Structure 1
Amino acid sequence: MLAASDVSPEVPTARSWYAVRTFLWTRAAIAAVALLAAQLPTHARLEREAASPLLHDLGWPIDLWARWDSVWYLTIAEQGYHGAAETLAFWPLYPALVSLLGALLGGHDLTAGVLISLASLLGALVLLERLGVRLVGRSSSRRAVLYVALFPTAFFFGAVYSESLYLLLAVGAFLLAERGRFLPAGVVCGLAILTRVAGIAILPALAIIAWRSGDRRRALLSLAAAPLIASVHLLVVHDARGSLDDLFGAQALWKRHLSPAGPLGGIWHGLGKAWTTATELGEPGGPDLLWPSELVNAGFLVLFVALTVVAWRRVGAPYGLFAALSLALPLSFPATPSPLLSLPRFGLVVFPFFLVLGVLGERTRVNVAIIGVSSVLLVLATVEWVRFGWIG
């Protein structure tokens, strides 16, 4: 962990506009790339996948931010959990907010989803800078904000997906805990779990911070608010479907199954799939050369494992544990036939990764390399997303 002398104290009165400026110019740049990409030929699957009326709202400039899993969030916003059992893999807070704002906007749920994602991202970047100042210093925290905004899958932050909301709540929970406000931290953690099941990775990390606090017992008891709030999802599902059976089998419907070897199973099968993909590059019917998913996923796996180790040492045990658990969860449930399915998107919201990169980016060459490589991959990924290619 960084020495105290390396970390600038958080100064609430000296509010920086850096995060706001970063939000504005990066989202404008990503939007420009997306609008240009919309003029390119699309994948053959576009007509089939985009057939749902839920993916059409105020015209193509808005509609292009709804792809793939967006239809499930919009289905839940419209129907709750009364429909297909596949919806149970998506937790309720984000679609509930979409439904609420969509009603205020006259039924424009897709537009509501985009607005919620963008507003959540802005809040997340502001809070990440403040938390980063406490942990790694102001310069490193600002680089972390920039790196997350330019991450190759950062276009999801403006899409009808729950990434932005989850990042806001995850960072918020840690910031509250660092300030000694454990009851609000527990509440926000519970809301994060209601956003994504991966939010359970936050609670053990907060428990470490609580254990180190002056009033250990009170702090730990306050965190009990998290599972109580998260249990609301069980009540919602039971009310909609009459039992919880479908909830516990939801991951299997998406071809995800618990590996007997835990996360090691996901790593083993993921690297094996990447090797097979590498041998098929350039062959007829082979992987997409613009974004060969299995190879990209394997590359991010190696990066995330390395950043997790460094996060534990340089940022602190709570953040290393959060990163490790956030990575272990999807790796323990590898998908078929793509074991590392969506891993670059899952890593997008593991903010300790970016705090570590912010520290490493202190060296000019490293900083330039991170920005350059990330920006190029972000452009490629955004183009694929708009063309209805699979990114995550």
Structure 2
Amino acid sequence: MGDRGRAVGAARRGGLGARAGAVRDRVARATDRVPAPWRFAVTVFLGTKIALTLVGVLALAAFDQLSLAPPTDGWTMRDQQRAVSPHRWVSLWFAWDSFLYDKLAQVPLDRPWQDFGFPLLYPFLGRALAPLLGGHTALALLLVANAAFLLLLYYAHRLGEQLLGVPGSRRFVGYLVLLPTAFLFQAALTESLFLCLTLAAFHYAERRRWLVVGVLGFFLALSRSVGFFVVVPLALVLLRQHDYRLGRHALWGYVRTGCPLLLVPAGWLAFMAFCRWQGGDWFAYQHAQQRGWGVTVQNPLGVLWHGLTKGSLPDALRVAAAVLAMVVVVAGLRRIGLPYVVYGLIMVLVPLSMGPPVYRSLLRYLLAAFPVALVLAGWARSPRAERWLAGGLAVLQGALFVAWLAYWSHFII
């Protein structure tokens, strides 16, 4: 009986092993059918999501043990986070502007609006999704941001393939998620949506699908005010594809091919029309920015110089980061090309033109300058350089993420 029992057990284990192997084979075949860019994007998305969530929850628990009190205005934000969700792994992704977006997602459209100092694509997407989540607009906004983050990773990989090849594209995605404030891609803010639309627009521009570029550009202009200016580097991609030729025949070709780019400024004009409809003022957005934050258009170089020479130490550090971003982008001109250098400079200089109030959010705005990651991906091709650069960026992002979690978020947003 003993031998028979052992034989039966062995046969049973063999059967279980065979079934487990068959399941693994089916999973492997199903995975192989998923395109490689999507597999890579999902892997990076899940990896960063799990890592940052664990760090966030553990850090907040440690802060509780230390009885670490947030700054005075941090108490207000803490109460707002608790109102969103009692679960910290959810609520930690909401800060300041997140609650303003949530408010915009809830305001009924059948009554006049007073102040809306933000373009409305992001809150309107949250408004559309909220009914599926029981009317919870804040969670809808967080879901929109994270879905955009996943798409951002996919389009970053595809654009990187076109500009740097497959190995370079993976490095590009890696450095994109290692940029100092890249954890904001997972927050209930506009960073992931804006950059997702931007990378998709450049991807399709490189593939000469200009109608798709125009449609994406329309929504890009509705996502953030700086989106209107992306039409300039997109037009440079078109010019580069025709070797920057000029002349009557060349100009006609540009007009015929690139006319969908007119949809980019049309997106911003649509937002201005909404301002006029709701508030009776075409420039209600600009006036709300002036009243709420003291934002006025200024010389960005003068603002930069003021931050370096007359601002506080935190202001000087943030402006120095902006200078470093511009230096990196310009130094990579031969590697990434003129359109991407111009885009990178726009993403730094346009926020600076908003005046000194931008200092507080400058590290957040610099996240849109994805050509920095493109240049780094081209530079760090040796394993040793890649390890040092990736490690340094990870430590820096970790320090800023801890500052975010400790409610010193005004250094970032």
In the superposition, the TM-score normalised over structure 1's length comes to: 0.85
Structure 1 match to 2:296: 257
1:21 to 43, 46, 57: 43
Question: Which whole-Å CA distance do the structure 2 matches of 1:363 and 1:350 have between them?
Answer: 24
Provide the C-alpha distance between the structure 2 equivalents of 1:74 and 1:68, rounded to a whole number of angstroms: 10
Match status 1:112 vs 2:140: yes
Distance in 2 (CA, whole Å) between partners of 1:160 and 1:15 is: 25
Q: Which moved more, 1:15-24 or 1:357-366?
A: 15-24
Q: Which runs of 5+ in 1 are unaligned?
A: 1-11, 278-292
Aligned partner letter, 2:269: S
- Match of 1:44, SS state, is coil
**Farther-moved stretch of structure 1 (141-150 vs 51-60):** 51-60
Structure 2 unpaired stretches of 5+: 1-33, 243-252
C-alpha change, 1:378 and 1:162, in structure 2 (3 Å) is same
SS of 1:341's partner is helix
Number of aligned positions between the proteins: 359
Q: Which amino acid aligns with 1:314?
A: R
How far is 1:83 from its partner? 4.9
- Aligned pairs for 1:297-336 (under 5 A) are 297-336=318-357
Query: Match of 1:196?
Result: 224
CA distance in 2 between partners of 1:157 and 1:15 (Å)? 19
Deviations 1:22-57 (A, max 9, x none): 121112111111112222124133222344489523
Return the offset for 1:78: 0.8
Partner of 1:31 in structure 2? 53
Paired position in structure 2 for 1:288: none
- The structure with the larger Rg is 2
> In structure 1, what residue type is equivalent to 2:303?
G
* Residues 267 and 191 of structure 1, relative CA distance in 2, 3 Å threshold: same
Give the drift of 1:15: 4.2
Question: Identity over the aligned pairs, expressed in percent?
Answer: 31
1:55-89 deviation digits (Å, cap 9, x = unpaired): 5235333111111111111111111685552x32x
1:17 is paired with a residue whose SS is: helix
| Kept in 1: contact 2:218–2:263 (CA 8 A) | yes
What SS class does the counterpart of residue 169 from structure 2 fall into? helix
By relative contact order (CA 8 Å, sep 6+), the higher-ranking structure is 1
Deviates more, 1:247-256 or 1:148-157: 247-256
Are positions 1:233 and 2:271 aligned together? yes
Q: Is the 8 A contact 2:57 2:89 kept in 1?
A: yes
TM-score between both structures, scaled by the size of structure 2? 0.81
Aligned-partner Cα distance in 1 for 2:81–2:182: 25
Is 1:272 matched up with 2:309?
yes
How far residue 150 of structure 1 moved from its aligned partner, in angstroms, is 1.9
- Structure 1 residues 246-299: Cα deviation after superposition (integer angstroms, max 9, x where no partner): 32323323122222xx2211210111245x42xxxxxxxxxxxxxxx3243133
Assess, with a 3 A threshold, how the Cα gap between structure 1 residues 51 and 80 changes in structure 2: closer, same or farther.
farther
Are the aligned partners of 1:55 and 1:67 in contact in 2 as well (CA < 8 Å)?
A: no
Return closer, same or farther for 1:246/1:229 CA change in 2, 3 Å cut-off. Answer: closer
Task: Verify the 8 A CA contact 1:57 1:110 in the aligned structure 2.
Answer: no
1 CA distance for matches of 2:35 and 2:79? 50
CA distance in 2: counterparts of 1:91 and 1:50, whole angstroms: 26
1:213-249 per-position Cα deviation (integer Å, ceiling 9, x unaligned): 4642222212112222332211222222122243232
Aligned to 2:250: none
Amino acid at match of 1:332: S
| Paired position in structure 2 for 1:44 | 71
CA contact (8 A) 1:118 1:164 kept: yes
SS in 2 for 1:91: coil
Instruction: List aligned pairs for 1:297-376, cutoff 5 A.
Output: 297-336=318-357, 340-376=359-395
